[in-house]
Amino acid sequence: MTITTTPHLNFDGNAREALDFYAKALGTEPATMTYGAMGATDDPAWADRIVWGQVQTASGIRVMAFDVWPGQPYDQGTNAFYVYLSGTDADEITAAWEGLSDGAEIRQPFGPAAWSPLAGQLRDKFGVIWALDVAPEPTDH
**Overall average pLDDT of the 74-89 stretch:** 84
Q: Where are the alpha helices (DSSP H) in the chain?
A: 15-26, 35-38, 90-100
- 122-141 pLDDT, tens digit per residue, is 999 999 999 999 988 766 65
User: Residue 1: what pLDDT?
Assistant: 60
**Overall average pLDDT of the 67-83 stretch:** 82
Banded pLDDT at 78 (limits 50, 70, 90): confident
**Other Cβ atoms closer than 10 A to 43:** 11
Higher-confidence position of 121 and 74: 121
In the β-sheet with 8-11, what is the strand arrangement from edge to edge?
8-11, 62-67, 50-56, 30-34
The CATH code belonging to domain 83-134 is 3.30.720.110
- 25-67 pLDDT, tens digit per residue, is 999 999 999 999 988 888 888 899 999 999 999 999 999 999 9
**Other Cβ atoms closer than 10 A to 25:** 20
User: Residue 3: what pLDDT?
Assistant: 63
- 97-117 pLDDT, tens digit per residue, is 999 999 999 999 999 998 899
Q: How many residues does the chain have?
A: 141
pTM listed for this prediction: 0.84
User: Residue 141: what pLDDT?
Assistant: 56
